[in-house]
Structure 1
Amino acid sequence: MSNTTPTEFVKILDKEYQVACTPEERDALMQAARNLDARMRDVRTNGNVIGLERIAVMVALNLSHELLSLQRRQSAAEAGLDDELLNRLAEKLDKALK
């Protein structure tokens, strides 16, 4: 019996990559690979970026920016919910004390 993780092959910008992936994660991996391939093709087609490495870095920067923006919005939304909850609790306390 082997303890190695099975691998899947994905194709990004016409290059094939072998990636360790459990069967449960296969669909997510394939979706991520298709998304990455599409983004890299878009940068290559519409931008002035030449070279696989530079294209990959530009896409990685864009993805990182999107992730950080989502995290900031989520944190702000959660903070707003926390403030709202605290305000409601304070109002209830004020009413109970009166």
Structure 2
Amino acid sequence: MSQPLTVSLRILDKEYQVACPPEERYNLEEAARHLDATMRDIRNRGKVIGLERIAVMAALNISHEMLISKRQQQQLSGEQQQQINELNQRLDQALARHQE
């Protein structure tokens, strides 16, 4: 296992030092860019004032996006399982006809 490294992240004009495994650096930086963009968008709309409130709103927005994506993925998995079940039924029927 590799040693963690310290990564400098800039979010809403503030710098943060975060330790992470080297293989996760890109994902961490990508997450920070996404968070920064979300927070800037909220700040630029001008309806939320204060860094803490902006951060909470960004966290809520990102969590909402994640939950929607997760539900869509689960729904797809359910649809795929249904298709597999239907194919299995067709195969069973075809095999049953062939054995008669």
TM-score (norm 2): 0.87
Query: What is the match of residue 5 of structure 2?
Result: 6
Who is 1:29 aligned against? 28
Q: Which amino acid is 1:12 matched to? A: I
Percent identical across equivalent pairs? 48
Deviations 1:6-28 (Å, cap 9, x if unpaired)?
21111111111110112222222
In structure 2, what residue type is equivalent to 1:63? Answer: I
Consecutive unaligned residues of structure 2, counting only runs of 5 or more, are: none
1:4 shift after superposition: 6.1
Amino acid at match of 2:62: L
Matched, 1:71 2:70: yes
Distance (whole Å) between structure 2 residues aligned to residue 78 and residue 53 of structure 1: 37
Tell me the TM-score normalized by structure 1: 0.89
Q: CA contact under 8 A between 2:7 and 2:20: conserved in structure 1?
A: yes
1:37-95: CA deviations, max 9, x gaps? Answer: 11101100114000111101111111111111111111111110101110111111112
Cα contact 2:3–2:21 (8 A) shared by 1: no
Map of 2:49 onto structure 1: 50
1:88 and 1:4 map into 2 onto residues whose CA distance is 49
